[in-house]
């Protein structure tokens, strides 16, 4: 049981890191650029399931809220997060 929990937490951290990296890649389409954060969110939900996928995105939002520059344009901090 412990091995599965460790694997689940490692995958949550991996997808949180992937969600932090992919917003930095943007595709300029018209006036609003498209970033790749949505792709990692959908992949996390599809592969990890609802509970672990949501946990990985909560970890991502928390790391950005504490000030790490993980949001698009290398921004971070609680003033960027709008819940």
Spans of all domains in the chain: 5-24+34-66
Tokens 């609003």 correspond to 32
Predicted TM-score (pTM) of this structure: 0.77
The CA–CA distances, whole Å, from 80 to 49, 61, 70 equal 27, 10, 11
pLDDT at position 13 is 92
pLDDT at position 81 is 56
Q: Which two tokens stand for residue 52?
A: 């672990």
The tens place of each residue's pLDDT in the chain, 83 residues long, gives 456 888 899 999 999 999 888 888 888 888 888 888 888 889 999 999 999 999 999 998 888 888 788 876 667 666 665 55
């Amino acid at each position: 049981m412990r091995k599965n929990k460790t694997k689940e937490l490692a995958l949550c951290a991996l997808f949180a890191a992937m969600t932090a990296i992919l917003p930095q890649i943007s595709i300029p389409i018209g006036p609003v650029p498209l970033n790749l954060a949505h792709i990692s969110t959908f992949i996390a939900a599809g592969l990890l399931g609802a509970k672990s996928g949501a946990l990985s995105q909560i970890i991502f939002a928390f790391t950005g809220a504490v000030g790490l520059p993980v949001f698009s344009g290398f921004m971070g901090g609680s003033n960027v997060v709008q819940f």
